Amino acid sequence: MPAALRARKYNRREAVAGYLFITPWIIGFLVFTLGAMIYSLAISFSHFNLATGRMRPGGLDNYRALLDDPRVAGSLRNTLFFAVLAVPLEICLALLLAILLNRVRRGAGFFRTVYYLPKMTPAVATAAVFLLLLNGNTGAINRGLRAAGIEGPQWLVDPAWVRPSIVLMALWGVSGTMVIFLAALKNVPRDLYEVAALDGAGPIRQFFAITLPMISGAVFFNVIILTIYAFQVFDQAYLLFWRDQNNVAPESSLFYAVYLFQQAFRQFNFGFAAAMAWLLFLILMVLTYLQVRIGNRYVYYEAER
Amino acid sequence: MRGRRSITLTAGLVLALGVGTFTAACESGDAGGGATANFGADAAGTLTAWAFDNADDVGKARLGYAAKALPGVTLTMDQTGFDAQKFTARLASGEVPDVVQMDREYVGTYAAQGLILPLDSCFTANQVDPAQRWYANVLDDVRYKDQLWAVPQFYQPPAILLNTTVMRAAGVTPADIDTSKPDVLLAAIAKMYKASGGVPTTLGFNPQAVGQTYLWFVAQGGKLVGDKGVPTLDDPSNVRPLELLKRIVDAQGGFARYKSFTDAFDVFGDQNQFVRGQVGAEVDAQWYANVLAPYKDKAELSAVPFRGSDGKPVAVAYGGSFVIPAKAKNPAAACKWALRLTEDGAWNAAAEARAATRAKDKSVNTGLFTGSPGPDRAIREKFVKSSGNAGFDQVVNTFYDVVATGRSAGLSPAGQQLKQELTTAITTTLLGQKTPQKALQDAQTAAMAAYTSIAGG
């Protein structure tokens, strides 16, 4: 048998094995993701009440209602504000922590574990802690600021500071992003730094000339993932402000996913909620497409060397 | 090539991550509204109950009583708390419990959609006269379109707890804490309020603006729910209570500082706001007297009723209830079980259990507030004794005195959303973001959207 034919056969066998390995995921994806998406698209064109099971055709009613409902635009604005603030901050903080951890030699495992712990903490527990930390009068954050002579804001009540307070809570879970950066940093060849040092490049120059380009793939990945997550933010806003009707919830804390949840499960407006979900999907598609198009110009792919 | 890869990558990423927003697996089906049930049938077989999550000494005694009274019924309980999302999912699946405990203010949402059964025939078939068994306002809490949709239980009226130590130091008397006389009340607040660097250290009066929403609006002459449960948040009568709340809060550092201060209270602990002198007076539901009972000798307490705009004592509060889903498999047993749990014998058993607990703890028995006048009277006479602390006894008696002054805020299909919108209106007004009129108008628009969506206009 010619070598080329043997190789092709081998490749086909390998491909079949690969597909078999991912079959459970494909089935899960088709049933629980694609199936649910198609279903949600269908009900977005209907007036559907999940609790009663009643469904009647709605045409474009729900999509028209998206334009008419001021809370859709308001919640999108709040979400966009959060994304614009949270994504860059999370990227910078995660990168900073990853660089610090990458330099640690003794006790590296201990520090990595400690820094990753917040990611393992349940969101409810984190929210409970942040309710105390962010108290405008007695919270630890404002006490610290007061000690430095700064009068801190009323984080959880003042509408102007509600969204930044949710960003702060989101930053608590930065370690997931940090781990990806750390892995990328570990893959940067040391000899590049040695050569740069011989050429007289200082740490800052090395960072911008070597580190950042070499980990640009990880940065790119994290920016896309965090942007998508930011537009879907729910836990933090819901736990801090919307978990029950006795909570004081400034309008600036009404994020898109929270409003979607309210429409679906408090007002039983599943058709409208589905239309909201598809609007978000389209927004994310456009944003991610733009990020990919722009990002590809700056990302260094090892395979393309 | 690169463009196509970008599109593929984009679609893949968003598809994989973006759809988490909405992946509810749904199932169409019949609402079951209008389903009828033979509530007169014998109680037998398996009964599934959900959200009876108050199984303390009182709950256990009532459960034991109902079990003895209904020997042919095998009870299966899910004691997790009521959750609207979970209930919706269960309704969609068709696998509903036979009886569900939920707050009375949410009953209208499910009644309007035919998801629960009207219970008038449950009462009739079991010779229960609701008007005899429950307070009128408690029944109004579960009345929608002239039908009763739940078996109510508990009614814990609010009143104003006074911190005599703080009041005396400021020269304020109980007569000054009068919610029907705003100027007198505000003057008393000004005398008691203390701040350090702009941050409150003692509130003259904690109105519980958000926690006691219904009380403030209904008692001060407002109207939240109209005919057929239609929200009426923009009714002109609602402006006055909101303006009064704003004056009270503004006199104590403004809403942001007031809220942060009250959030930091050790409400259930031995450093609570009364022991620490952080409040001069505070609106509280009756259950809070139980919390304060162990500290009756550490804080000098007394109480006055909350007064309506007409100067008369008034109490507004919802409570719990049992509803029977339209698709319940054993509605007859569900009806009888709920009725057994709320009859005199069950409350007597509960009161005996509570008395035993209090005797064991060597603490004060402040009574039970059952939602039914007969048991309330009987329990007060039989089990509520002097604590040896005149001030605290006066607190207990005040709650008993105001229980008969109850008014209902009404039942609306927009229940949950109405409360949320009203809370938002209060918050935006107290923060100074909107005028009371504008805030109430916006709240009405949103609540009406919910009402239309749920009740179909």
Q: How many whole angstroms from its chain centre is CA A278?
A: 18
Residue B365 has pLDDT above 60, yes or no: yes
pLDDT for B229 equals 93
Residue B261 has pLDDT above 60, yes or no: yes
Buried b (16+ CB within 10 A) or exposed e, A260-275: bbbbbbbbbbbbbbbb
pLDDT for A104 equals 87
Q: B117 with B326: CB under 8 angstroms?
A: yes
Residue B27 has pLDDT above 50, yes or no: no
* Lowest-confidence pick of A225-239, B78-92, B179-193: B78-92
Tokens 């079991």 appear where?
B126
Of B3, B25, B115, the CB nearest to A36: B25
pLDDT for B120 equals 96
Instruction: Please name the fold of domain A76-304.
Output: MetI-like fold (1.10.3720)
* Lowest-confidence pick of A197-206, A245-254, A280-289, B126-135: A245-254
Residue B135 has pLDDT above 90, yes or no: yes
pLDDT for B19 equals 42
Q: Which residue of A has its CA nearest to B89?
A: A51
pLDDT for B4 equals 52
CA angle A140, A141, A144 (to 5 degrees): 85
- Across B223-233, average pLDDT: 94
Chain B positions touching A249 (Cβ under 8 A) are: 420, 423-424, 427
Of A32, A53, A246, the CB nearest to B28: A53
* Lowest-confidence pick of A244-248, B346-350, B395-399, B403-407: A244-248
Chain B positions touching A276 (Cβ under 8 A) are: 22
Of B10, B92, B431, the CB nearest to A288: B10
Residue A76 has pLDDT above 60, yes or no: yes
Does the interface ipTM go beyond 0.85? Answer: no
Residue B298 has pLDDT above 70, yes or no: yes
Residue B156 has pLDDT above 80, yes or no: yes
pLDDT for A305 equals 46
Q: Which residue of A has its CA nearest to B90?
A: A51
Report how far residue B15's alpha carbon sits from residue A21's, in angstroms, rounded to the nearest whole number: 21
Q: Which amino acid type is present at position B232? A: T
Residue of higher predicted confidence among B109 and A247? B109
- Across A242-271, average pLDDT: 84
Q: Do B11 and A285 touch (CB under 8 A)?
A: yes
Distance from CA of A244 to the nearest CA of B (A): 8
Q: pLDDT tens-digit profile of A188-220?
A: 999 999 999 999 999 999 999 999 999 999 999
- Across A25-50, average pLDDT: 91
B195 DSSP β-pair partners: B200
Q: At how many degrees (to 10) do helices B57-69 and B344-361 cross?
A: 140
> Of the segments B21-25, B255-259, B346-350, which one has the largest average pLDDT value?
B346-350
Mean pLDDT of chain B: 90
pLDDT band at B425 (very low <50, low <70, confident <90, very high): very high
Q: Do B19 and A281 touch (CB under 8 A)?
A: yes
Chain A contact probe: residue of B4, B8, B14 with most A CBs at under 10 A: B14
pLDDT band at B399 (very low <50, low <70, confident <90, very high): very high
pLDDT band at A295 (very low <50, low <70, confident <90, very high): confident
Residue B7 has pLDDT above 70, yes or no: no
Q: Which residue of B has its CA nearest to A267?
A: B450
Q: Do A225 and B17 touch (CB under 8 A)?
A: yes
Distance from CA of A113 to the nearest CA of B (A): 26
pLDDT for B127 equals 96
The pair of three-digit structure tokens given for residue A185, joined into one six-digit string = 């940093």
- Across A61-69, average pLDDT: 93
pLDDT for B21 equals 43
> Of the segments A117-121, B270-274, B418-422, which one has the largest average pLDDT value?
B270-274
Report how far residue B112's alpha carbon sits from residue A51's, in angstroms, rounded to the nearest whole number: 12
Q: Which amino acid type is present at position A148? A: A
Residue B419 has pLDDT above 80, yes or no: yes
Q: What does B97-108 look like in DSSP terms, one character per residue?
A: -SEEEEEGGGHH
pLDDT for B29 equals 37
What does chain B come to in residues? 457
Chain B positions touching A264 (Cβ under 8 A) are: 22, 24
pLDDT for A4 equals 74
Report how far residue B22's alpha carbon sits from residue B7's, in angstroms, rounded to the nearest whole number: 22
Q: Do B7 and A289 touch (CB under 8 A)?
A: yes
Distance from CA of A136 to the nearest CA of B (A): 6
Chain A contact probe: residue of B91, B208, B260 with most A CBs at under 10 A: B260
Chain B contact probe: residue of A132, A267, A297, A298 with most B CBs at under 10 A: A267
Residue A100 has pLDDT above 80, yes or no: yes
Distance from CA of A289 to the nearest CA of B (A): 5
Chain A contact probe: residue of B19, B271, B318 with most A CBs at under 10 A: B19
Residue A303 has pLDDT above 80, yes or no: no
- Across B104-133, average pLDDT: 95
Residue A39 has pLDDT above 50, yes or no: yes
Domains annotated on chain B, with CATH: 45-156+319-353 (3.40.190.10), 158-316+414-455 (3.40.190.10)
Q: B447 with B410: CB under 8 angstroms?
A: no
| SS3 assignment, position A202 | coil
Residues 207-246 on A with a CB inside 8 Å of B are: 224-225, 228-229, 232, 245-246
pLDDT band at B43 (very low <50, low <70, confident <90, very high): confident
Q: Do A157 and B255 touch (CB under 8 A)?
A: yes
Chain A contact probe: residue of B8, B9, B21, B216 with most A CBs at under 10 A: B21
- Across B36-62, average pLDDT: 88
Report how far residue A272's alpha carbon sits from residue B454's, in angstroms, rounded to the nearest whole number: 13
Q: A202 with A161: CB under 8 angstroms?
A: no
Distance from CA of A38 to the nearest CA of B (A): 10
Q: Do B423 and A296 touch (CB under 8 A)?
A: no
Chain B positions touching A48 (Cβ under 8 A) are: 26
Residue B6 has pLDDT above 60, yes or no: no
Beta strands (DSSP E) in chain A are 46-49, 54-57
Q: Do A135 and B264 touch (CB under 8 A)?
A: yes
pLDDT over 70, % of chain B: 92
The pair of three-digit structure tokens given for residue B52, joined into one six-digit string = 């009876």
pLDDT for B295 equals 94
Listed by start position, the domains of chain A span 3-61, 76-304
pLDDT band at B36 (very low <50, low <70, confident <90, very high): low
pLDDT for B13 equals 46
- Terminal CA-to-CA distance of chain A, rounded, Å? 34
Residue of higher predicted confidence among A32 and A249? A32
